[in-house]
Structure 1
Amino acid sequence: MEERGRIPPGLPRPDPTVSYWQDPPAEIADLRTTPGLPDNADYVIVGSGISGACIAFNILCKQPAASVVVLEARQAASGATGRNGGHTKAASYRSFLDHCIGKEKEFGLDEAMRIARLEYANIQATHALAKQYQIGCDSNPCDTVDIIYSQTHLDAGKQAIERMQETMGHDDPAASYRIYDAETTRETFLTPTALGAFEYAAGSLSAYAFAIGFLRLALAKGMNLQTTTPADSISANTANERAIWQVQTSRGSVTTPNLILATNGYTAHLLPQMQGLIVPLHGQVVAQRPGTGLPQTGLTDTYSFIHETGYEYMITRPPGTPDQGTVIIGGGLWKLPNSGASRYGETRDGVLEPTVTSFLRDCTTEYFGSNWGQDNSAGRIVKEWSGIMGASADGLPYVGAMPDMPGLWISAAFNGHGMVWCLKAAEALVEMMTGDGAAQKKLDEWFPRSARMSKDRMGRKFLGRKDLRAPGEAEFGERSRL
């Protein structure tokens, strides 16, 4: 695993698989706002996924006259944002105890609660903003259920939920969970071999369409989007009091006093200091037609299937969408040797790992058993694809100013958990860049200190498989969400 962490990520590959969400591509997928790159800008953002799109939008809301350039190596929102499983799901109970008493214990209970509340708030804000700005992303706030197949995980989950409710209060929505016994789980959720389940608030959407929606909002405010423009390198001119950053591309260069890397798993390509701190992780997702025994308009909840050494995550497309009922399921890393170690450091999102492919194609019939019914007459598989996540050395994202590199900012390494971090992380980063003292003080109240970029965190080297789990995952199994 140490060897995997040392593999340079390079640039995003030019021949990725086409995800379910990107077919067909958005109208702005290949947009270049201007024929050439501007010579300079107030802000340059590298990466056009949810992070980059929301950072750009938030900057322009606060500073309408600012010039903002977004560089994207491939099509707009073509990275992990355009390739994930469509889940807005926190599962905060899986990390809560470790935040309190584990390796992050220096932050204590207040920090554990802050993280859980941020994740819940991120979910709520995502669906609220989709509604507010009328973004056509099939936003579907709903409950989710973790179907448990391991007694160890069932016991640990009950303990964590009890601790959350004791400390946060039973009326805190971020600590609201319902626990089901085996019989009720099997009957309610159509999973005939389950040991129990946890149900809580979550949702589903097309993250690709959501990000495209925010890019459009930012474009309307004056953002300059430059797709198929990989950032080859960055450098700083520190001759003046304030550093000026230059981003070099094959189409020329652009300079800025504020350079923001929203590059997730590819960050170390531009910033070698992050090699081994942000490690790419190759994940896969499959879209399937539902079996005849499942509700053809979609299940009420989204799902995760939790077993002893790993899990899968699944949504069904909501009623009223043209593809209602379609099953989107990802995961499967645990089926590989060494818990999927070979998928770390891998950036070829144009390929599929055969063992994972085989497992994801068939696992739904195992989870639902006879409740699956017969396969659809058109066949089970609609589409399958891969994508690259970014795993951090300590299991939390890096958000904030790069130490000793004035003018360079980062929001990256979401550990496959970006749909409950990216939006609020973008909001926090813009406050860090533009806010006054009062704003900074308010930010301290809700944004976790443990997710801020710092010298201390840069000293936490990647030591192996265990360090690529989010805090708490040692108790609950591998994180494998794309």
Structure 2
Amino acid sequence: MDERARIPVSAPCANPTASYWQDPPSALADHRSTPDLPAVADTVIVGSGITGAAVAWHLLQEESSGSILMLEARQVCSGATGRNGGHTKHASYRTFPHHSHSHSPSLAIQIARLELASQRALHALAQTHSLPCASHPCPTLDVIYSPAEWASAQSAVAAMREAFEGEEEGGYELFTREEVMETFGVADGVYQGGEEKVRGGVGYQAGSVSGYELTVGVLGLCLEKGMGFNLQTNTVVEAVEKDEGGGWVVKTSRGTVKAKRVVLATNGYTAAVWKAFQGVVVPLRGQVMVQRPGSGLPEGGCLERTYSFIYERGYEYMVTRPAGARGAGDVVIGGGLARAPGEGIMEFGSTGDSTINEGISEYLRECTGRYFGAGWGEDDPAGRVKCEWTGIMGFSPDGFPFVGEVPGEEGLWVSASFQGHGMVLCWESARALVEMMEGRDNEELKEWFPEVFRITRERMAQRFKGRLDALPKEGDE
């Protein structure tokens, strides 16, 4: 893993795979608020995904936000947000025991609250502003195939119920093997000649959304606020350097901008902009596929819940497009990393979202038929696979995001490295970042924002060992 973490992180490539969510592209895809880059800006935000959009949104709520320039290397929202699986899911029970034991029960509770709040904030934002992003709050089900994962899930849910003492912890509900198979239509499967049995399931509230359309919608609202917000797409940030006179110089493929402060909303690409993050925010290429629903799926594939399928050291996640949405019934499924050779180690350190991993592609193509068994039915006459693509996530050594002012670099701020769970971490992390930027880093912020998310020298000095959520649990077969 050390070798993969040392691979120099590059800027986003010019010819990424085509994401389902960006077809058709937004009217803002190649937007430039002004023909040329402004020479100066109060704040430069690098990146136009959900984090960049959220930072801009929260800054614009300030009475005097100053001028804000957003720079995007490719088309708008063409990074992880526009390339994910569309899942808004606070699977806090899966990390709660680790956070509680490694840090404290109070911190574990704080993180769980933030994840739930962030998930709800996205759907509330979409509803309040009527953003056409197929926002669909709905139940979810984690189908668990590993005995150790099932034992861990049961104890974790019990621990959360006890810790929250009657306060809502996310509405977790446990289902037996028989209940999962009879009620939710999933099946035992066989993988590489070995039987994988359903052990049980965990149900709770989650949702689905087009992160691309949601983010583009937020950016549209930001642009409506006036000339203080300037969006410049197809503008690669090549370097960020200190200005001798104070502030920062942002060098791009289209010229140079001087800024009082810079925000890196760059997730897996962060080290390409600020080299101190090399080996600290490690890129990981993920893969997503859209399938046409099998004939046996109810409601034409518009299922009433989302799913995850959890096995030893890995999982897949699945959402179906809701009724009324473009592509209603389409099955969006992502994951498969643990089924790739070497458990996907060659995907770490990669920023090459212009290609796919054929092994993962083959696995994702077949897994829906295995998970639903006879309930999948016959494939669509047009074929099972509709499209597939890759995207670049960002991972940290300790499994937490980096949020705050880069140590020793006044005016250089970051909110990045969301471990593949950005849709339930990014929004509230951006809100916290703006509180810090605006001088409100106080006790009120500390009450709801986890201390372990804050960037420190000590955290940046840690060694990256891989995805913490992929570590084996006792009893795994």
Partners of 1:379 and 1:150 in 2: how far apart?
31
Partners of 1:420 and 1:473 in 2: how far apart?
21
Partners of 2:137 and 2:113 in 1: how far apart?
17
1:475 paired with 2:477, answer: no
Give the match's secondary structure for 1:303.
strand
- In structure 1, the partner of 2:182 is 187
Q: CA deviation at 1:171?
A: 3.5
Question: For 1:305-328, what per-residue CA distance to the aligned partner results, in whole angstroms no more than 9, with x for missing partners?
Answer: 001131100000111223211100
- In structure 2, the partner of 1:396 is 400
- In structure 2, the partner of 1:96 is 96
Partners of 1:60 and 1:151 in 2: how far apart?
49
Give the match's secondary structure for 1:269.
helix
Contact 1:336 1:355 in 2 (8 A): yes
CA 1:275/1:354 → structure 2, altered by over 3 Å: closer, same or farther?
A: same
- In structure 1, the partner of 2:118 is 122
- In structure 1, the partner of 2:450 is 448
Q: CA deviation at 1:57?
A: 1.1
1:323 paired with 2:327, answer: yes
Alignment of 1:324-339 (within 5 A): 324-339=328-343
Contact 1:309 1:477 in 2 (8 A): no
Question: For 1:214-254, what per-residue CA distance to the aligned partner results, in whole angstroms no more than 9, with x for missing partners?
Answer: 11111112310000000000100254xxx310100121111
Contact 1:234 1:245 in 2 (8 A): yes
CA 1:417/1:473 → structure 2, altered by over 3 Å: closer, same or farther?
A: farther
Q: CA deviation at 1:65?
A: 5.1
- In structure 1, the partner of 2:235 is 229
1:133 paired with 2:135, answer: no
Q: Report the residue type matching 1:228 in the other structure.
A: N
Q: Percent identity?
A: 48
CA 1:274/1:322 → structure 2, altered by over 3 Å: closer, same or farther?
A: closer
Runs of 4 or more above 4 Å deviation: none
Picking from 288, 291, 294, the partner of 2:291 is 288
- In structure 2, the partner of 1:341 is 345
Partners of 2:345 and 2:39 in 1: how far apart?
42
Give the match's secondary structure for 1:384.
strand
Q: CA deviation at 1:169?
A: 2.1
Q: Report the residue type matching 1:213 in the other structure.
A: G
Alignment of 1:176-255 (within 5 A): 176-193=171-188, 194-222=198-226, 223-239=229-245, 243-255=246-258
Q: Report the residue type matching 1:269 in the other structure.
A: A
Partners of 2:10 and 2:407 in 1: how far apart?
23
- In structure 2, the partner of 1:66 is 66
Q: CA deviation at 1:64?
A: 4.7
Contact 2:187 2:370 in 1 (8 A): no
Q: Report the residue type matching 1:381 in the other structure.
A: V
CA 1:126/1:456 → structure 2, altered by over 3 Å: closer, same or farther?
A: same
Q: Report the residue type matching 1:49 in the other structure.
A: G
Picking from 257, 260, 265, the partner of 1:257 is 260
Q: CA deviation at 1:459?
A: 1.8
Partners of 1:230 and 1:130 in 2: how far apart?
29
Count residues with an aligned counterpart: 464
Q: CA deviation at 1:423?
A: 0.5
Q: Report the residue type matching 1:458 in the other structure.
A: M
Q: Report the residue type matching 1:235 in the other structure.
A: E
Question: For 1:121-152, what per-residue CA distance to the aligned partner results, in whole angstroms no more than 9, with x for missing partners?
Answer: 01111100110111110000011100011111
Alignment of 1:73-92 (within 5 A): 73-92=73-92
Partners of 1:309 and 1:469 in 2: how far apart?
10
Q: CA deviation at 1:337?
A: 2.5
Partners of 1:297 and 1:476 in 2: how far apart?
36
Partners of 1:291 and 1:77 in 2: how far apart?
31
Task: Give structure 1 stretches of 5+ with no counterpart.
Answer: none
Q: Report the residue type matching 2:183 in the other structure.
A: T
Give the match's secondary structure for 2:88.
coil
Give the match's secondary structure for 1:258.
strand
Q: Report the residue type matching 2:72 in the other structure.
A: E
- In structure 1, the partner of 2:269 is 266
Q: Report the residue type matching 1:442 in the other structure.
A: E
Alignment of 1:373-392 (within 5 A): 373-392=377-396
CA 1:211/1:422 → structure 2, altered by over 3 Å: closer, same or farther?
A: same
TM-score (norm 2): 0.95
Give the match's secondary structure for 1:42.
strand
Partners of 1:56 and 1:65 in 2: how far apart?
9
Contact 1:95 1:473 in 2 (8 A): no
Q: CA deviation at 1:435?
A: 3.8
Q: CA deviation at 1:36?
A: 0.5
Partners of 1:171 and 1:110 in 2: how far apart?
14
TM-score (norm 1): 0.94
Contact 2:13 2:353 in 1 (8 A): yes
Partners of 1:339 and 1:168 in 2: how far apart?
35
Partners of 2:291 and 2:368 in 1: how far apart?
9
Contact 1:64 1:221 in 2 (8 A): no
Superposed CA RMSD: 1.5
Q: Report the residue type matching 2:23 in the other structure.
A: D
Q: CA deviation at 1:335?
A: 1.2
